[in-house]
Structure 1
């Protein structure tokens, strides 16, 4: 225990002795949380919409006025011909164009089915689909307002929609818990991957080889600082989320810290593998970058795992972020029960055991 305590103190001191390094451990992850929370928005705002209104009646004017009044759109660009519509989309002056035919108002007045056309810029496929949803909702609202008068009755049907876990559909409620997993992983990998490489570059790796420390004691000593940093950052995010962003934490704190510890150990195992295989800190940095990018992309944060090809979905089972992302979102938004948490937790523990064992084997092989 004395040797282990000395190793842990040495690693913590190596991490904290530089004032700039202490600042880097806290300030950048916090800034990333604030910046990425607002930057990774799932909404589409401040876009221009083109309108080709060939009807010029009261009902078409109502639709145009509602589009103009939507907070999601910046301004309406009036178009006078199909050629002007084509040029506006081609030059990316508008992301979508609404086309209202000549007989639109006559069809509405005669209580016949009336439709409007929407031309979307397919180069921005995701944003265009979201804008299409906005426009469909506006058109549906106008149609619902006209339906009772068209039937001559005050009785109207409809659909009652209830949004569980995120009643206001605030995208921050989804992105912020996910960012807790992503930013924590970036910090954990970058710190761990530099540990052994730093020893080699500074020439102190040979001293470790001749010291009475055993391999597992060296590894434990190098695991503790990034684990403490990850737990500290996780606690910081846990405080900032409800106080600053209004994102509720409805789950168990014990399950959160238990899952965060398992997740950090899995990341530390990956980082130790990168560090043990690297001869310099530059190689370790490039190695951690090589690991971090697929870890984020395959986690389900950028795009749903179900949308990926079948063979790639199999690869995601080796990604620890895949499991922790489900846990942290569930604990924040829907008070995920312990059984559901442990269903996602045991793969994290398995990945941590495998990566730490592989790191120990590689570290022992490099010491011989």
Structure 2
């Protein structure tokens, strides 16, 4: 059995490389998109999940917190009584920022002394962090104008900002880990979606059916090249991001590769479903691009998922790109642990199992 599968895998690789259009799709678009997205992508922020660590409960401190929550931009997602809880929520991306009001804040305001306020930002979302910082600065400026007498030098509220995981707000540090996922998805979907449709157009599909290969063996042979290409492409793009654009990679490469394998398998399952349904390569390409647009929008790459309507957020749970982008950014910038990554890994396992199982059933049905 393994000899037959190996022969089919070799045949798939040869067909992939001999076809000039396939070589072009694999090599040229990822490079062009890498350069364009790395230099041109921008983002917006709304509905900021804010954690509050309020050690001072007096009037001015409470009023300032209310100004944040009443601004329409921030919403309190968590309240803390110790720094460890705040650190855990930022690491797990449950909040985008933490506002820390220290002891003696209200007393300093009343006495006309400089009062300090700390704002912790998630630097993995560099563009979002910069916008959140500007929102906070505007609120604090209005607070100063109303509470500090004119001409009182040195008094007022002084904000100290710390950005975690991306101290300099480098936008490429945020864009490129997600871009590696998107480009891998594009290549994997195209390879698998065109595999069976190409066989039908060339007239070799019927020849494949009369071989001793079983349906499961054929699917394994179709899956292996796409898995290899997707795995290699993701790692090459990651290496380019680190080497050419200076994006740090502080996490576990084994965790990143484990996520890539599960992600590519889920993409292969989706591609094989398209390939089993499509009768021509043109139909297969159309199916791929019909899926890619909503998958990209609902992935959290361009728009934060928390800003989407509830029904859109529900749709993102069946999108494997959502989980792999979060895992990729965590591994690149955060040194994400396996325990924190598990909520991103198991959904991709489920999606891969469902799509590959459905593709197998469709393929077996076509053979009957």
Name the residue aligned to 1:163: 163
The Cα offsets for residues 83-111 of structure 1, whole Å up to 9 and x where unpaired, read as xxxxxxxxxxxxxxxxxxxxxxxxxxxxx
Deviates more, 1:17-26 or 1:344-353: 17-26
* Equivalent position SS for 1:211: coil
Aligned CA distance change for structure 1 residues 241 and 345 (closer, same or farther; 3 Å): same
Q: Aligned equivalents of 1:340 and 1:330: distance in 2?
A: 9
- The two structures have a TM-score, normalised by structure 1, of 0.70
Q: Which residue of 2 aligns with 1:4?
A: 5
**Contact 2:192 2:275 (C-alpha < 8 Å) held by counterparts:** yes
Whether 1:339 and 2:333 are equivalent positions in the alignment is no
Q: d(CA) in 2 for partners of 1:179 and 1:359?
A: 27
Q: Which residue of 1 aligns with 2:30?
A: 29
Provide structure 1 residue ranges, at least 5 long, that are not aligned to the other structure. Answer: 44-125
Match runs of 1:53-72 below 5 Å = none
Kindly provide the CA deviation profile for residues 154-186 of structure 1, in whole angstroms up to 9, marking residues without a partner as x.
455411110111111122111111111111111
The verdict on how the C-alpha distance between 1:40 and 1:156 changes in structure 2, with shifts beyond 3 A counting, is same
CA apart distance, 1:326: 0.8
Structure 1 residue 341: Cα displacement: 1.3
The answer as to 2:244 corresponding to 1:233 is no
Q: 1 CA distance for matches of 2:137 and 2:154?
A: 24
256 and 135 in structure 1: CA distance in 2 versus 1, 3 angstrom threshold? closer
Matched, 1:150 2:160: no
Evaluate the alpha carbon distance shift between residue 234 and residue 131 of structure 1 in structure 2; reply closer, same or farther with a 3 A threshold. closer
Partner of 1:326: 326
Q: CA deviation at 1:217?
A: 0.8
| C-alpha contact (below 8 Å) 1:33/1:179 kept by paired residues | yes
Alignment of 1:156-195 (within 5 A): 157-195=157-195
Post-superposition offset of 1:28: 2.2
Q: How far apart are residue 149 of structure 1 and its match?
A: 8.0
Do 2:25 and 2:187's aligned partners in 1 also have CA atoms closer than 8 Å? Answer: no
Number of the residue aligned with 1:255: 255
Who is 2:291 aligned against?
Answer: 291
* Aligned twin of 1:88: none
Alignment of 1:81-160 (within 5 A): 133=134, 140=141, 150-151=151-152, 153-154=153-154, 157-160=157-160
Superposed CA offset, 1:261-286 (max 9, x none): 10000000000000000110011111
Per the alignment, in what secondary structure is the counterpart of residue 161 of structure 2? Answer: coil
Q: What is the TM-score when the length of structure 2 is the normalising length? A: 0.70
> For 2:309 and 2:224, how far apart are their aligned partners in 1?
37
**Contact 2:251–2:335 (CA<8 Å) still a contact in 1?**
yes
> Structure 2: how far apart are the matches of 1:131 and 1:163?
11
Q: CA deviation at 1:130?
A: 6.2
Gaps of 5+ in 2: 45-126
Give the secondary-structure state (helix, strand or coil) at the position aligned to 2:323: helix
CA shift, 1:23, in A, is 4.7
Partner of 2:41: 40
The answer to whether residue 310 in structure 2 is matched with residue 310 in structure 1 is: yes
Q: SS at the partner of 1:161?
A: strand
3-state secondary structure, aligned to 1:166: coil
Q: SS of the counterpart of 2:160?
A: coil
**Deviation per residue, 1:342-364 (Å, 9 max, x gap):** 22101101110110010010011
Task: Find out whether 1:366 has 2:363 as its counterpart.
Answer: no
Distance 1:285 1:26 in 2: 17
Verify the 8 A CA contact 1:231 1:260 in the aligned structure 2: yes
Distance 1:187 1:18 in 2: 15
Q: Deviations over 1:298-351 (max 9, x none)?
A: 111121222222222222111111111110010011011011112210110111
Cα pair distance change 1:316/1:135, threshold 3 Å: closer
Give the whole-Å Cα distance in 2 for the aligned partners of 1:283 and 1:19.
Answer: 19
